[in-house]
Amino acid sequence: MNIERLVRMANDIGNFFKAEPDHAVAVDSVALHLKRFWDPRMRKEIVAYVDGGGAELMDLVREAVLKLR
């Protein structure tokens, strides 16, 4: 799937949860959102993207994606 689009969608999710003052909660919230709403093939691709460096992802999202492995 179009990885640029997936990155944009993931960062949009991160932008919402970054308002959470507790960083750990924010990371878990992003990870849970991806787990609950993204089809496995989308998650697989974003995990692969992070494995490749994940340059365009927000730090918060990168952390969250690592939890999906």
Q: Rule CB under 8 A: choose which of 23, 24, 28, 38 binds other proteins.
A: 38
Q: How far is the CB of 16 from other proteins (least distance, A)?
A: 5
Specify whether the backbone of 57 is left (phi greater than 0), alpha (psi in -120 to 50) or beta: beta
Q: Rule CB under 8 A: choose which of 24, 41, 52, 69 binds other proteins.
A: 41
Q: What per-residue string of b and e applies to 22-31 under the rule 16 or more CB within 10 Å gives b? A: eeeebbbbbb
Q: Which residues bind other proteins (CB under 8 A)?
A: 1-2, 5, 8-9, 12-13, 15-16, 18-21, 33, 35-42
